[in-house]
Amino acid sequence: MHTLIPAPLSFRSESGQFRLSAETSLCAPDDLRPLAERLAASLRAAAGLPLPLREKTTGAICLALTEDDSALGDEGYRLEVRPETVKLTAARPAGLFYGIQTLRQLLPPDPRSVPPAIDACTLLDVPRFPWRGAMLDVARHFFPVEAVKRLIDQMAFYKFNILHLHLTDDQGWRLEIKSWPKLAEVGGSSATRGDPGGYYTQEEYAEIVRYAAERFITIVPEIDMPSHTQAAIAACPELKGISKYSGLYTGTEVGFCTLNIHEEITYRFIEDVFGELAALTPGPYLHIGGDEAHSTPEADYQNFIARAQQIVRQTGKQIIAWEEAAKGQLLPDTIAQYWWQADLARRAAASGNRLIMSPATQVYLDIKYNASTPLGQDWTQKYIEVQDAYDWDPAAALEGVDAALILGVEAPLWTETIATPQEADFMYFPRLCAVAEVGWTPQEGRAWEDFRRRLAAHGPRLEALGINYYRSPQIPW
């Protein structure tokens, strides 16, 4: 029985083992060289062996792209582990990348303690959903580039393909905008509890995007509007934003401020900010927020969302917004992100808009595991143990919504109470492993009892990756 997470679409044990040694090589056609080099590097680290890239095919792990295997889609792969060779094939590079993650998980957690070997097997593996995401709120607390890269590595190991960065909020503005320099200089200086602020220069943001892309992860940047904008309002008084507070904000209330819907400068601001953001972001999506606009009158909110979509759509990117945006008219290709108000998410679906599923009762990873979790929040009035994050179906969670509109799943980590990568680890893991399987594995291929067993086997892997995970009593570690 394998211990892969996420569980593959299909897996068959075969007889024998492929033993790795100092003689084992990797083989790949020339046109795959740069990718093969990177995959080789991650396998070398996992196997503790030199694994040189060579032409020969026996005693080797061979990578190949095939043109005529339509079952594989953009992200699927086939893996055949036999005593003499390992064959990994995919239709697209992303599939090879995921196959390599599987190989890493088939190797022992610490290859230095045993001669590394992989039990022979045959896999066909294709993800259920195209959207397998995590979100990090870098606005309530700032996380430097190195911390984001570390999260990207953790996500890649579990076959995630989307990292949504919540870049702005009341407590901080985290991206340099050259046409509005005070946003980052002033708005970036604060954080929740008066903790240190910070922001990404455009070069640093581009570096995150590049690092993620090498791991087949798309960065989805969010600039939250019209509320959650205190940092911008405080940094740029010319915006004439409306707020209960003046100056930078370090508390944790929500919905107390709004951009000024009736000032033209607001729309120049949006054009400038999203223009620069689009130019920095090769991925197809920009997130405009839209949540908890409690200080924006309803009619104003609807007008704002309509106009903001028009402006952002000009960049050529596809728009994502939290479910509240469905109070107004969504553009046909706007994607709604469901988190709390099912009626609004249903409204979006009823008008044919696609949905990302982030139900706060299942995958808000800032919610406590139980009453004694030292970090996190409990406003949902329901704790989220590992089983809660695992035992649900994104396609069935909103009754009456056509499953074809469900793009996939995304697990947010809001960081009002979370300030360091170690604290983030503790809230993400092991629940992020559960979310990985919710997003990748077909519903009929998932079962909690089997997942518990496999997750227990990941304890040493999480430790080897230096992840500070929660030792849930639900898991037989």
| Nearest residue (CB) to ligand TNX, 361 versus 474 | 361
Minimum CB separation of residue 214 from ligand TNX in Å reads: 29
Minimum CB separation of residue 358 from ligand TNX in Å reads: 8
Among 377, 387, 420, 468, binds ligand TNX (CB under 6 A): 377
Ramachandran bin of 73, using left for φ above 0, alpha for ψ from -120 to 50, beta for the remaining angles? left
Q: In angstroms, how far is CA 155 from the centroid of its own chain? A: 7
**Contact status: 414 vs ligand TNX (CB under 6 A):** yes
Minimum CB separation of residue 340 from ligand TNX in Å reads: 7
Q: Which two tokens stand for residue 249?
A: 């904000």
| Nearest residue (CB) to ligand TNX, 105 versus 362 | 362
Q: Which of residues 41-80 bind ligand TNX (CB under 6 A)?
A: none
**Contact status: 291 vs ligand TNX (CB under 6 A):** yes
DSSP secondary structure, 109-125, as one string: S-TTTS--EEEEEEEEE
Q: 253, 257, 266, 267: which is closest to 234 by C-alpha?
A: 257
Q: 194, 139, 199, 149: which is closest to 175 by C-alpha?
A: 199
Active site residue 292: yes
Place of tokens 């329901």: 382
Q: Which two tokens stand for residue 449?
A: 């009892």
Place of tokens 């989805």: 220
Nearest-angstrom CA–CA distance, 399 and 131: 20
**Contact status: 276 vs ligand TNX (CB under 6 A):** no
Among 263, 292, 300, 378, binds ligand TNX (CB under 6 A): 292
Site string for ligand TNX, 115-134 (x = CB under 6 A): --------------------
| Nearest residue (CB) to ligand TNX, 213 versus 375 | 375
Minimum CB separation of residue 412 from ligand TNX in Å reads: 7
Q: Which two tokens stand for residue 97?
A: 């990348």
Minimum CB separation of residue 173 from ligand TNX in Å reads: 15
Nearest-angstrom CA–CA distance, 111 and 117: 9
| Nearest residue (CB) to ligand TNX, 37 versus 298 | 298
**Contact status: 361 vs ligand TNX (CB under 6 A):** no
**Contact status: 322 vs ligand TNX (CB under 6 A):** yes
Catalytic residue selected from 222, 264, 292, 410? 292
**Contact status: 366 vs ligand TNX (CB under 6 A):** yes
SS3 call for 142: coil
Measuring CA to CA, how many Å separate 259 from each of 244, 289, 297?
12, 13, 11
Minimum CB separation of residue 140 from ligand TNX in Å reads: 7
Minimum CB separation of residue 364 from ligand TNX in Å reads: 5
Nearest-angstrom CA–CA distance, 5 and 445: 12
| Nearest residue (CB) to ligand TNX, 272 versus 378 | 378
Among 157, 339, 390, 429, binds ligand TNX (CB under 6 A): 339
CA Rg value for the chain: 23
Measuring CA to CA, how many Å separate 34 from each of 30, 40, 42, 212, 214?
9, 10, 13, 16, 10
**Contact status: 250 vs ligand TNX (CB under 6 A):** no
| Nearest residue (CB) to ligand TNX, 75 versus 324 | 324
First to last CA, the chain: 17
**Contact status: 378 vs ligand TNX (CB under 6 A):** no
Q: 391, 337, 329, 322: which is closest to 362 by C-alpha?
A: 391
Measuring CA to CA, how many Å separate 221 from each of 97, 155, 249, 353, 432?
23, 17, 22, 20, 20
| Nearest residue (CB) to ligand TNX, 195 versus 204 | 195
Place of tokens 């195209």: 130
**Contact status: 222 vs ligand TNX (CB under 6 A):** no
The site for ligand TNX, by CB under 6 A, has a size of 10
| Nearest residue (CB) to ligand TNX, 80 versus 366 | 366
Among 77, 364, 392, 428, binds ligand TNX (CB under 6 A): 364
Minimum CB separation of residue 266 from ligand TNX in Å reads: 21
DSSP at 198: -
Place of tokens 């997003």: 439
Catalytic residue numbers read 292
| Interacting residue ranges for ligand TNX, rule: CB under 6 A | 254, 291-292, 322, 339, 364, 366, 377, 414, 416
